[in-house]
C-alpha cells in the first residue's frame, strides 16, 4: 500500500523483514484497538520500525494517537489517510497513491500511522460488490480487492 514511504526508506526499510500483525475478533468492544495500540508501542520500544494502519472506519486508533487538526489534515485531498491512498482505485481512475504515513510523536521515532478515514466505508461496500468478478479474473476488480495489501 505505502510503497517506499519516505521516512521509513531512509532508515533502511527496504532491507528489513516485514512482519504483518492483524488483530481480529468477531465481537465488538473487546479491546482489539487498545491491544493493537499497546503492542505497537512495545515493539517500537524494542527497536522495531512499526507502521500502524487504521482500516477501521470508527478511526479509534487514529483518535488515540493524532490531534484533531492532524486527523482533519489527513482527510483532505492532499492528506495521507487510508482513503486518500486507495481513492483512485475506488474511483476506477488510477492506482494507489504513495503518501508518507504520519509520525506519532518525537518520543516514538520509529512509530508511524496510516490514519483511518470515515470514507473507507464506501470502499468496504465496493469490496463486497467486486468479490465475485475479481475471483473470476476481472483485473480492475482485482485491483480494488488488493488495494490495501499487495
Ligand atoms: N485491558 C483492558 N482493561 C480495561 N478496559 C479496556 C481494556 N482494553 C480495552 N478497554 C476499554 O474497552 C473499550 C473498548 O476497547 P476497544 O475500543 O479497544 O475495543 P475494540 O475491540 O477495538 O472495539 P470495536 O469492536 O468497537 O472496534 C474502551 O473503552 C477501552 O478503553
Ligand atoms: Mg476497535
CATH code (residue 76):
3.40.50.300
The domain containing residue 16 runs over which residues? 6-86+98-116
In-domain check, residue 22? yes
CA-nearest residue for atom 7, ligand 1, is 31
Write out the three cell numbers for 24.
481480529
Per-residue pLDDT band at 6 (split at 50, 70, 90) = very low
pLDDT, tens digit, 9 for 90 and up, residues 96-135: 999 999 998 888 999 999 999 999 999 999 999 999 999 9
Helix (H, G, I), strand (E, B) or coil at 32: helix
In-domain check, residue 91? no
In-domain check, residue 132? no
- The pLDDT score that the predictor gives to residue 3 is 45
The ligand with the least distance to the CA atom of 116 is 2
CA-nearest residue for atom 5, ligand 1, is 31
- Our mutation pick for probing the ligand 1 site, out of 26, 28, 31, 58, counting the most ligand atoms within 8 A of Cβ, is 31
Helix (H, G, I), strand (E, B) or coil at 3: coil
pTM here? Answer: 0.86
- The pLDDT score that the predictor gives to residue 149 is 83
Span 83-89, average pLDDT: 95
Amino acid at each position: 500500500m505505502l510503497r517506499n514511504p519516505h521516512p521509513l526508506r531512509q532508515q533502511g526499510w527496504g532491507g528489513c523483514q516485514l512482519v504483518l500483525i492483524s488483530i481480529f475478533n468477531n465481537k465488538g468492544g473487546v479491546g482489539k484497538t487498545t491491544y493493537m495500540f499497546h503492542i505497537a508501542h512495545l515493539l517500537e520500544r524494542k527497536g522495531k520500525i512499526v507502521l500502524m494502519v487504521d482500516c477501521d472506519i470508527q478511526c479509534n486508533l487514529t483518535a488515540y494517537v493524532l490531534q484533531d487538526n492532524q486527523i482533519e489534515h489527513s482527510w483532505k485531498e492532499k492528506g495521507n489517510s487510508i482513503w486518500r491512498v486507495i481513492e483512485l482505485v475506488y474511483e476506477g481512475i488510477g492506482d494507489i497513491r504513495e503518501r508518507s504515513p504520519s509520525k506519532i510523536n518525537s518520543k516514538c521515532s520509529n512509530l508511524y500511522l496510516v490514519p483511518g478515514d470515515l470514507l473507507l466505508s464506501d470502499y468496504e461496500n465496493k469490496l463486497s460488490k467486486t468479490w465475485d468478478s475479481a475471483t473470476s479474473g476481472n483485473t480492475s476488480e482485482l485491483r480494488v480487492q488488493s488495494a490495501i495489501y499487495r
